[in-house]
Amino acid sequence: MAGGLFIWAATAYRFIQDGPFADERLQTLLKGSLSTGAPEEHLNELYTTVLKKAIRPKYSTEEQERLYHMQRHILGNKKQAHQILAASCIQVMSKWLKQDICGLDAPGLLASEVERTQIEQSLPPEVQYACLFWVEHVLRSEIQPSDNDYIHQFLQEHLLHWLEALGWMGKVPEGVHAITSLESLTAVNIPPSRINRSKTFPKKFQHMLKWISGSVPSASIPAYQRQVVHATERNPPGFSDFIYDAKRFILYNRPAIEQAPLQTYWSCLIFVPTTSVIRKQFEGRISGEILQLPRVSEKWNALLQTLEGHSGPVTSVAFSPDGKTLASASWDGPIRLWDARSGAALQTLEGHGGAMLQKFKVDNGAATAVAFSPDNKTLASVSWDGTVRRWDAGSGAALQTLEGHSGPVMSVAFSPDGKTLASASWDGTLRLWDTGSGAALQTLKGHGDAALPTLKGYWVAALQKLDGDEDPALQTLEFDERCVTAVAFSPDNKTLASVSCDGTVRRWDAGSGAALQTLKGHKRPVFAVAFSPDGKTLASASGDRTVRLWDAGSGAALQMLKGHKCPVLSVAFSPDGKTLASASVDRTVRRWDTGSGAALQTLKGHSDTVSAVAFSPDGKTLASASWDGTVLRWDGKMLASAPWDGAVLQWDAGSGAALLRLMGHKRGALKILRGYKGAVMAMAFSLDGKMLASGWEDGTVRLWDAGSGAVLQMLKRNGYDVTAVAFSPDGKTLASASGDRTVRLWDTGSGAALQRLKGHSGTITAMAFSPDGKTLALASGDGTARLWDAGSGAVLQTLEVGAVLETLSFSNDGTSLQTNRGSLPILQTPSNITPVISSQLPSSIFVQDQWVSRRTERILWLPLEHRPSRIAVYGGVVAFGYASGRVTMMEFAR
């Protein structure tokens, strides 16, 4: 009868065991039709039988009486019925949910690695229903949550359990929407009846009703609600504060919970701000296996969420008119659509073709910009391949490909009425298209007349040149003045503005295509243009590192906004027109007062060029796109408040201070050292773990006391960045390699320079001392490895490897070099090399990509901003070095 289908057997089993009529239901199935058709026919017959019984069930007298009273409640008072359902859902979750509900005892286990059957057994249908729809019932009941009520108490006890369950169910975005809805209930003058709600409930609702029929007491609803969760004796934060913090918590940690739900109690608690309400509430659940926590921010800042998914630089972002969807375009080719509230990936639109080959070589198929139509139904994208494409914003289906440009198209914009599409290209033209037929309406020319340059790498090379790079090869690069880089319609649909590599801003009549005005003032190419919401002001962003505001009517220059250190690539007005956001190659987003021109704030969070910014229609969210492959979402409510304290993202527009998390305390706030510029390029612990050496982008090497955090020595070099550092086994000598292809040996006690080793023709990529400290092995980008006498500085041996080595160490017996590519025999083994005692270098901790592992088992997921560029491990202590110049430490039980 099952036809080989497990789902038939599973469904039949649940049907038979569901209620007091098991024998009768078994006979019903046995008497059923023995179809000889496909297995799906057997399944259809089973479903028909189950549905018939569901429609005309037999109930005992007691069950009939209970359901009769429930029916009276439901038909008589829907709000009260939803109160029953909401409270029942919370009771189900309170009784069922717990930490590690699947009993896995593996914090790094991925959701994709757990069998669905195990998840279904751990989270039966009624529990899954409760997890997904309890907030829906709260909304429909029109309950107004209050401080320390049964909803508040449930969340104080089970918020993390609920998030873990959603992670296993693959429903974390639904959790974001639920928390956002609860937060809306705390807003002034917004009744629950006006909150967006779901229209239907799933089949799991039947399981929930059955549970309620056997669980709801005869007591009044308020009394029942009071018994759901026992009140605590604490005086917790108010419901409003708790829900706001819960929203920030889930938005920030969504990727971790989705990927590995048990990280809810590890990464999610560890990396949120120390004063977070959720962290304080559940701090006792942080694993005792983490002996020293990393230094993190004290308070939440404006950064809501990081959206990862693109594999190449993100060049454009756009909100849909209803604010529900965020679109991003990248050099990796596809357009991505995101849920603007939860950050969940919705769709990937592919059609332009191609992918980013490498950072400085752009494939012709890479998308460069996106825009939504005013009616929210269509998305337009443009590409390096010269095409303009239209997509159905709902289904993601490709609607139209518009061809005509002979060069890369860098910008696209819909007219306010949605009937016209404008595209700007490096072929020197603006083209207007009919969005209905796709017909070309007009071609506008006027920006320069030079020949089009070679496109490969042009964009990046141009920006490097603008950034003051002194490379002669870049200085000879000339801009093509024809390149039209951006286009925008005025709000009244009458005017079109365009900007170009010729440094001008031009205004056009959107109907006739006639040139109206040319605005001059920028000294370098202009990359972006935007109209203010009232259409009275134009903003332009340029390679001269300025943003200019113009009177859109007269063309008069109003303001010149200075502050960015590199070319400015994007500008966007807030919906009220009072604020302007700008994005730059200097990796920052800046906010400006459009009235006074005053700089309001500098936001740092991206690790590469910030290429685009966009405000949501309600002004509550700002999105930024970057060449680091991410999209960041910023909380508009907090954009005017103080940024983070610099411990993580260093938003304080300061000097990029190096921050060091010091050992000595286990879980409290530790001392921070500030004042060092540049990125951390290399790090290493001494063999005894008492010293930490860090090499910096500015060419200095700093020696720290790993216990107190005191700076022991600051060793100054010649200004080249430090590429590698290594201690001798006795800790008395430090070797540092730099970009000038030399290695220096230092006395760690006095800081005196001992030797300068020179001979490699490539950058030093790895180094290691022999166990007795008398020999130094160096690997170079020239494909060789050399052995040096650390005392005399003489070359002992040169090994022709033919490849670049990334790691290097001596074998225990000193007869070979262990590398990332295998073992290299040392033909002339120095006689004074003695074996190392293996117990001197104990470490079971390994850091790779997004994870910290222990004995090959993943234990801690690292959020994007906590993924280091350099790592040093000593035993259970891990030092993380970041491009920002920050150094922080964690200690794990071994």
Q: What is the pLDDT of residues 826-857, one digit of tens each?
A: 765 444 444 333 333 345 677 777 898 887 78
Cβ neighbourhood burial of 690 (10 Å; 0-12, 13-18, 19+): middle
Assess if residue 86 is contained within a domain: yes
Question: According to the model, what pLDDT value does residue 475 have?
Answer: 32
545: how many CB neighbours lie within 10 A of its CB? 22
Q: Do 148 and 260 share a domain, yes or no?
A: yes
**How does DSSP classify residue 54?**
H
* Tens of pLDDT, residues 693-730: 888 777 888 888 877 778 898 887 666 788 888 999 99
Are 346 and 366 within 8 A, CB to CB? no
Count of residues making up the chain: 894
d(CA 405, CA 389): 12
Q: Which residues lie closer than 8 Å to 298 by C-beta, 6 or more apart?
A: 273, 274, 275, 644, 645, 647, 669
d(CA 788, CA 756): 11
d(CA 212, CA 308): 41
Classified as helix, coil or strand, 82 is helix
60: how many CB neighbours lie within 10 A of its CB? 11
CA distances from 307 to 85, 178, 317, 366 (A): 35, 20, 12, 19
Percent of the chain with pLDDT strictly greater than 70: 72
Q: Which residues lie closer than 8 Å to 17 by C-beta, 6 or more apart?
A: none
Q: Do 507 and 595 share a domain, yes or no?
A: yes
Assess if residue 715 is contained within a domain: no
Q: Which residues lie closer than 8 Å to 507 by C-beta, 6 or more apart?
A: 495, 496, 497, 515, 516, 517, 518, 519, 538, 552, 555
d(CA 246, CA 237): 12
Classified as helix, coil or strand, 779 is strand
Query: Which of 839, 854, 873 is a domain's end point?
Result: 839
Are 354 and 385 within 8 A, CB to CB? yes
Q: Which residues lie closer than 8 Å to 123 by C-beta, 6 or more apart?
A: 96, 101, 131, 165, 168, 169
Q: Do 181 and 235 share a domain, yes or no?
A: yes
Q: Which residues lie closer than 8 Å to 97 by C-beta, 6 or more apart?
A: 127, 131, 158, 161, 162, 164, 165
Q: Do 347 and 257 share a domain, yes or no?
A: no
d(CA 308, CA 864): 9
Q: Do 827 and 767 share a domain, yes or no?
A: yes
Assess if residue 399 is contained within a domain: yes
The CATH number of residue 355's host domain is 2.130.10.10
Number of domains in the chain: 4
Query: Which of 822, 839, 856 is a domain's end point?
Result: 839
Are 97 and 122 within 8 A, CB to CB? no
Q: Do 205 and 189 share a domain, yes or no?
A: yes
Residue numbers of the domain that contains 18: 6-55
Residue spans of the chain under pLDDT 70:
1-76, 187-236, 333, 351-365, 446-482, 636-679, 717-719, 820-823, 827-844
Question: According to the model, what pLDDT value does residue 57 have?
Answer: 52
Q: Do 329 and 400 share a domain, yes or no?
A: yes
Assess if residue 657 is contained within a domain: no
d(CA 108, CA 114): 12
Question: According to the model, what pLDDT value does residue 22 have?
Answer: 59
